[in-house]
């Protein structure tokens, strides 16, 4: 007999399934079978499955979408193992997690062996970062018995609060399950019926320390919602009703048998609901606009409160629960207000940003709005640049002092024409002017902690025609904040206008930000200068940079990579273009301007190449660098879409193309066939292309024309005028 049957229902998202199977393949286990139930799959995953020749995978495929309960039932019908183990295809295992459960089962032959489930938004490669906070460490057994520890892990403390019982990450003897099946009519809580059905037959329980199962919160709540992220309608009512059904069964079994396992299970469930009462119900009872928190939710929670184990509560907590049970609203409100507001106050005064945000919402946001005030910000206040700069200059030249202008600029010594008010990002002055400004002009996303008032307008000019995947279109998120996709949706809902340079960009921005507001297909204000600049302006830029007048100019502008991080949002960067070779080969004719992404602009040292390579990372306006450059070298940065307006040669130094295309981001266009220049893998190839640049211009002339028509045809030097006409009509 096979020792272990692993049952995996699969519905969607191949990259999640890959994480799941990868994590199983790294467990040191043998004598097992994996039963993979393809549950009406929308993706062809055969190639992925076939790549795991080291795993014993049995595939059962259904054309229709079965649902998780039926998919598990189909897996159970096929399971021939002594033990059965359930894992969801969008979850994965921490190192040695299943191995520890299997070894414990072989040593104890217990009926039920489980580990800890831990909810996480992190991709698998970064899951261990979940443990950086003390409260997130895997739980310890301490003085708990095997059964007590097993029950604590079964109910869970670090998973979805609406998940009281789960079959996941537990070894269960197959003969104890017998003919028990999941309730296929219960979409959200089929685990509860299954667990309460087999519970009377389970006699020995073992909870295993540090055998951690990652319960993934899917990173796209719009397109890839998991079952536990779906809208249940009245979620609390559904949750509480399921809890009461389970409690009724467990109480009846305990009354009949007085078996300790039922009491332990009741206590853990009650603790989970008390935690929900304390952290979720209390604040919503006070402040939610939804009256249900003071209506039917109140009544249900009140009934459940009689299950709370008062022995574990503090004196103050006991008094609050007593007031709750006695329906003493005045006293209950006072208790909840004291603890909720105390916690808020502590949080506000423990961090500067929370204190400033508190002032913003409670004081500045109650002041009148100046209907003539515009606030501009470019790249988080690091530069006076990009489309906000050119829209500002157009408006200042047209309206002068009729309007009030504020610039978010971290270096107040930066010269800005017209003498606008300058504020440093996230200073108190920033919050004050933000609250007063009728219009916010930004070139990215505003901070998610901020919310405009109804009469304020946000104009997001964005900052480029997309090549690499953005927002919800990105696969696995490698950045520090794995919840970032949720913030994309949240901040985009507040935009009033989104600026687009072409139809292609319009469709992508709508999709990747789930944006349904107004999109202005005007072209980018930052490209106006590419059509309007005079020869005198171009020469002044060269003079300001102290560049030699007898050399041609190559602009090297690579993007950053999502995996270029090393700690808590800090980025590292290594220049891959070999400047020493470039200098020897073309130094007599060319100089190189190096402009990295603003995320890594502080990481560059070009001192060994003085007189040949110039660091222009902190030069505010890349559009001015375009104007003075004869050739652009880039990779996956959107700069080449803008540079193409000049119809000058573009080279693509794509040394890590396969990794970037298939792992880190992926592209919206076919970079192999659609870009108007060659894809180069080595510095030697870059040198050869520059030396033979005239031949390349002829080779790519037709493709360049097609590219220009698709991506640049809206641009004519009048984007700023069109935006002004639209937002001030």
The answer to whether 307 and 240 have CB atoms below 8 angstroms apart is: no
81-114 per-position pLDDT tens digit: 999 999 999 899 999 999 999 999 999 999 999 9
From 181, 213, 230, the end of a domain falls on 230
434 within some domain = yes
3-class DSSP assignment, residue 438: strand
Q: Is the dihedral of CA 639, 640, 645, 651 positive or negative?
A: positive
- What 8-state DSSP symbol labels residue 279? I
Q: What is the pLDDT of residue 479?
A: 58
206-261 per-position pLDDT tens digit: 999 999 999 987 665 555 554 454 444 567 777 788 888 888 888 888 888 889 99
724 within some domain = no
Same domain for 396 and 326: no
Q: What is the pLDDT of residue 564?
A: 47
* Mean pLDDT in residue range 684-713: 96
Same domain for 240 and 199: no
Q: How confident is the model at residue 482 (pLDDT cuts 50, 70, 90)?
A: low
166-219 per-position pLDDT tens digit: 999 999 999 999 999 999 887 778 888 899 999 999 999 999 999 999 998 766
Q: What is the pLDDT of residue 563?
A: 44
Domain count along the chain:
4
Same domain for 538 and 518: no
Q: How confident is the model at residue 613 (pLDDT cuts 50, 70, 90)?
A: very high
> Which strand ranges, in their side-by-side order, compose the sheet holding 170-173?
57-62, 32-39, 4-10, 83-86, 170-173, 112-120, 205-216, 92-93
Closest CA to 235 of 286, 283, 280: 280
The answer to whether 616 and 545 have CB atoms below 8 angstroms apart is: yes
From 350, 378, 399, the end of a domain falls on 350
CA 560 to chain centre: 17
Same domain for 148 and 93: yes
199 within some domain = yes
**How would you classify residue 597: left for phi > 0, otherwise alpha for psi between -120 and 50, otherwise beta?**
beta
The domain in which residue 278 lies consists of: 233-350
Mean residue pLDDT of the chain comes to 89
Q: Within 10 A of 504 (CB to CB), how many other CB atoms are there?
A: 16
121-147 per-position pLDDT tens digit: 787 887 777 776 666 788 899 999 999
22 within some domain = yes
- The pLDDT > 90 percentage for the chain reads 64
Q: Position of tokens 């008032």?
A: 453
| Phi/psi at 405 (5° precision) | -125, 140
Q: Please report, for the domain that includes residue 398, its CATH number.
A: 3.40.50.11820
- The DSSP H or E segment spanning 107 is helix 97-108
716 within some domain = no
Same domain for 318 and 270: yes
Same domain for 216 and 77: yes
The answer to whether 379 and 445 have CB atoms below 8 angstroms apart is: no
- pTM score: 0.78
The answer to whether 83 and 3 have CB atoms below 8 angstroms apart is: yes
Q: How confident is the model at residue 156 (pLDDT cuts 50, 70, 90)?
A: confident
CA 533 to chain centre: 40
Task: Note the helical H segments in 305-351.
Answer: 315-325, 329-350
Sequential DSSP letters for 101-132: HHHHHHHH--SEEEEEEEEE-S-GGGGGGGGG
Q: Please state whether beta strands 631-634 and 650-653 pair in parallel, antiparallel, or not at all (unpaired).
A: parallel
CA–CA separation, 332 and 323 (whole Å): 5
Same domain for 537 and 503: no
Q: Position of tokens 């060994």?
A: 608
Same domain for 404 and 302: no
> What six digits make up the tokens of 314?
């503090």
- The DSSP H or E segment spanning 441 is strand 437-442
701 to 83, 175, 634, 708: CA distances (angstroms): 66, 72, 19, 11
> What six digits make up the tokens of 462?
């964005």
Residues composing the chain: 729
CA–CA separation, 619 and 382 (whole Å): 10
CA–CA separation, 630 and 649 (whole Å): 7
Q: How confident is the model at residue 473 (pLDDT cuts 50, 70, 90)?
A: confident
From 481, 512, 527, the end of a domain falls on 527
| Phi/psi at 662 (5° precision) | -105, -20
Q: What is the pLDDT of residue 227?
A: 47
> What six digits make up the tokens of 5?
């049957």
* Mean pLDDT in residue range 676-691: 96
Q: How wide is the angle at C-alpha 106 spanned by C-alphas 102 and 110, nearest 5°?
A: 90
355 within some domain = no
311 within some domain = yes
Same domain for 451 and 432: yes
Q: Please report, for the domain that includes residue 704, its CATH number.
A: 3.40.50.12580
The answer to whether 160 and 215 have CB atoms below 8 angstroms apart is: yes
71 within some domain = yes
Same domain for 544 and 466: no
Same domain for 508 and 372: yes
Burial of residue 313 (number of CB atoms within 10 Å: 0-12, 13-18, 19+): middle
Burial of residue 233 (number of CB atoms within 10 Å: 0-12, 13-18, 19+): exposed
Tell me which of 571 and 597 has the higher pLDDT. Answer: 597
Same domain for 251 and 205: no
Residue 567 CB contacts under 8 Å (≥ 6 apart), including other chains: none
CA–CA separation, 223 and 233 (whole Å): 18
22 to 125, 151, 494, 708: CA distances (angstroms): 11, 28, 39, 43
The answer to whether 689 and 489 have CB atoms below 8 angstroms apart is: no
Q: What is the pLDDT of residue 132?
A: 66
CA–CA separation, 437 and 421 (whole Å): 12
Q: Please report, for the domain that includes residue 27, its CATH number.
A: 3.90.550.10
* Half-sphere CA count of 672, side-chain side, radius 13 A: 4
């Amino acid at each position: 007999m096979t020792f272990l049957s692993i049952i995996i229902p699969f519905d969607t998202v191949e990259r999640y399934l890959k994480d799941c199977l990868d994590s199983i393949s790294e467990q040191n286990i043998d004598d097992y079978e994996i039963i993979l139930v393809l549950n009406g799959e929308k993706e062809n995953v055969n190639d992925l499955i076939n790549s795991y020749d080291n795993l014993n995978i049995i595939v059962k495929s259904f054309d229709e979408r079965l649902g998780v309960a039926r998919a598990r039932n189909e897996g159970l019908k096929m399971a021939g193992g002594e033990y059965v183990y359930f894992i969801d295809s969008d979850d994965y295992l921490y190192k040695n997690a299943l191995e520890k459960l299997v070894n414990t089962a072989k040593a104890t032959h217990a009926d039920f062996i489980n580990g800890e489930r831990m909810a996480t938004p992190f991709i698998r490669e970064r899951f261990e970062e979940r443990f950086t906070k003390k409260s997130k460490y895997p739980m310890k057994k301490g003085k708990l018995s095997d059964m007590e520890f097993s029950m604590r892990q079964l109910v869970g403390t670090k998973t979805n609060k609406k998940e009281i019982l789960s079959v996941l990450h537990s070894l269960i003897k197959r003969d104890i399950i017998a003919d028990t099946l999941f309730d296929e009519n219960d979409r959200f809580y089929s685990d509860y019926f299954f667990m309460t059905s087999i519970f009377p037959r389970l006699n020995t329980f073992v909870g295993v320390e540090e055998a951690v199962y990652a319960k993934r919160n899917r990173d796209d709540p719009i397109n890839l919602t998991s079952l536990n992220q779906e809208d249940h309608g009245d979620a609390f009512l559904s949750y509480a009703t399921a809890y009461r059904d389970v409690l009724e069964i467990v109480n009846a079994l305990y009354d009949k048998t007085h078996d300790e396992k039922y009491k332990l299970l009741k206590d853990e469930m009650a603790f989970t609901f008390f935690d929900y009462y304390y952290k979720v119900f209390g604040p919503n009872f006070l402040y939610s606009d939804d009256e249900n928190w003071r209506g039917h939710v109140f009544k249900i929670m009140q009934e459940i409160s009689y299950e709370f184990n008062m022995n574990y509560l503090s004196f103050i907590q006991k008094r609050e629960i007593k007031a709750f049970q006695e329906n003493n609203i005045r006293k209950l409100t006072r208790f909840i207000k004291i603890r909720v507001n105390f916690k808020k106050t502590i949080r506000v005064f423990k961090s500067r940003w929370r204190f400033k945000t508190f002032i913003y919402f409670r004081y500045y946001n109650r002041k009148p709005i100046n209907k003539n005030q515009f606030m501009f910000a470019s790249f988080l206040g690091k530069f006076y640049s990009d489309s906000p700069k050119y829209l500002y200059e157009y408006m200042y030249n047209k309206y002068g002092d009729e309007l009030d202008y504020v610039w978010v600029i971290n270096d107040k010594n930066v010269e800005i024409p017209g003498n606008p008010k300058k504020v440093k990002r996230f200073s108190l002055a920033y919050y004050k002017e933000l609250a007063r400004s009728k219009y916010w002009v930004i070139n990215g996303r505003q901070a998610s902690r901020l919310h405009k008032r109804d009469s304020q307008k946000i104009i997001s000019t964005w900052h480029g025609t997309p090549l690499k995947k953005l927002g919800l279109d990105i696969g696995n998120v490698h950045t520090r904040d794995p919840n970032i996709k949720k913030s994309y949706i949240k901040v985009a809902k507040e935009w009033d206008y989104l600026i687009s340079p072409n139809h292609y960009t319009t469709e992508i921005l709508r999709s990747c930000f789930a944006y349904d507001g107004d999109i202005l297909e005007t072209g980018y204000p930052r490209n106006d200068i590419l059509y309007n600049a005079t020869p005198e302006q171009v020469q002044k830029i060269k003079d300001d940079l102290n560049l030699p007048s007898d050399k041609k100019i190559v602009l090297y502008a690579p993007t950053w990579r999502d995996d270029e991080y090393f700690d808590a949002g800090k980025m590292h960067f290594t220049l891959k273009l070999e400047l020493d070779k470039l200098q020897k080969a073309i130094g007599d004719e060319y100089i190189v301007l190096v402009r990295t992404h603003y995320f890594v602009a502080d990481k560059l040292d070009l001192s060994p190449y003085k007189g040949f390579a110039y660091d222009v990372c902190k030069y505010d306006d890349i559009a001015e660098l375009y104007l003075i450059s004869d050739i652009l070298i880039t990779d996956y940065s959107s700069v080449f879409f803008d540079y193409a307006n000049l119809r000058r040669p573009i080279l693509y130094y794509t040394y890590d193309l396969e990794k970037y295309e298939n792992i880190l981001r992926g592209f919206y266009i076919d970079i192999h066939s659609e870009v108007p220049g060659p894809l180069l893998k080595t510095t030697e190839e870059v040198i050869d292309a520059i030396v033979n640049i005239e031949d390349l211009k002829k080779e790519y002339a037709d493709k360049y024309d097609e590219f220009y028509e698709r991506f640049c045809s809206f641009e004519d030097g009048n984007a700023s005028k069109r935006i002004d006409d639209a937002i001030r009509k």
